[in-house]
Amino acid sequence: MKIENSRALIVEGGAMRGIFASGVLDAFMDANFQPYDFAIGVSAGASNLLGYIANQPGRSYHVITELATQKKFFSPARFIKGGDLVDIQWLWTEANKQFPIDQTDVFHSIPFWATVTDVRTGKANYHRISPANIQDAMIATAALPIAFKHPPCFSGGCYTDGGVADSIPVKEAYRRGARDITVILSHPLNYQMPKARHPWLINKLLTPYPKIADAMAHRADNYNASLAFIRNPPEGTIVRVIAPPDMFSVKRLTMDTKQLNEGYIMGMEAGRQHIAALSGKHGLSDENCHFCL
């Protein structure tokens, strides 16, 4: 018997690394594969999930390769002059102008949460996407601290990128009842996040937001704790991982179209392999498929 909220889909962020997840989710849509009870996205992962929940193949790919590569979005020159390094507000507005979302599909699909970090506490909050908050929550989840200077405020708080406090919200999915969790990562499986190299600089740049600076200082510990949960889930819980291969070359700020296309193709292939594995084509079962690709 199926248990309500038993199956969850988690999509990590990672800025331009999100091109991999966009490929995975496009492969899912091509196969009409949506077996989940709810989904949680973080930063670029939330943007990718929005296209998936709305059943709009190719949307996330176009947003990343055609809009996120523009100087209107990413501008070191603007940042040096005191502006934002990345203009999340422009990206959201332009994406919805050029690739509009059918919100009817979004709000009649599975529940979808966007992860944000509360600037007052440095802790993760999870906002269920609704007609009332979709713009605010989707901008906030990707509002990188330092790079986006003014944290968006809504629902009684101000927020920054969800990846600061909870980059891979598998524990939150478990807390909400999921016992079959699929995670799309932005790094290969062997990745471990290193500690921040210059914490003093982070503290200086985030002087107005000390709790965010503290969360950034502990980000690697929290990230690696999520990886440990994935590798050793609680009894009765299955965690399935879809991760880029070791040769995945896309970085957080990669703007090269060729590299992005290669990353997208890797994601498409990984998504197809995941579906094939679940169908038993590779001789894998639910019991030994925790790290299916």
Residues tagged active-site: 43, 161
Half-sphere exposure of 206 (CA within 13 A, CB side): 26
- Contact yes or no for 215/117 (Cβ under 8 A): yes
Count CB neighbours of 1 within 10 A: 3
Among 282, 277, 270, CA closest to 20: 270
- The burial class, CB within 10 Å (0-12 / 13-18 / 19+), for 151 is buried
Cα-based angle 70, 71, 73 (whole degrees, multiple of 5): 75
- Contact yes or no for 148/206 (Cβ under 8 A): no
- Coil, helix or strand at residue 241: strand
**Site of tokens 């506490």:** 121
Among 288, 146, 261, CA closest to 209: 146
Instruction: Give the whole-angstrom CA distance, residue 138 versus residue 64.
Output: 15
Quickly list H helices, the chain. Answer: 19-30, 44-53, 59-62, 76-80, 88-98, 103-107, 134-141, 170-175, 199-205, 210-217, 219-231, 257-278
Both ends of the chain: CA-CA distance in Å? Answer: 26
DSSP classification of residue 67: I
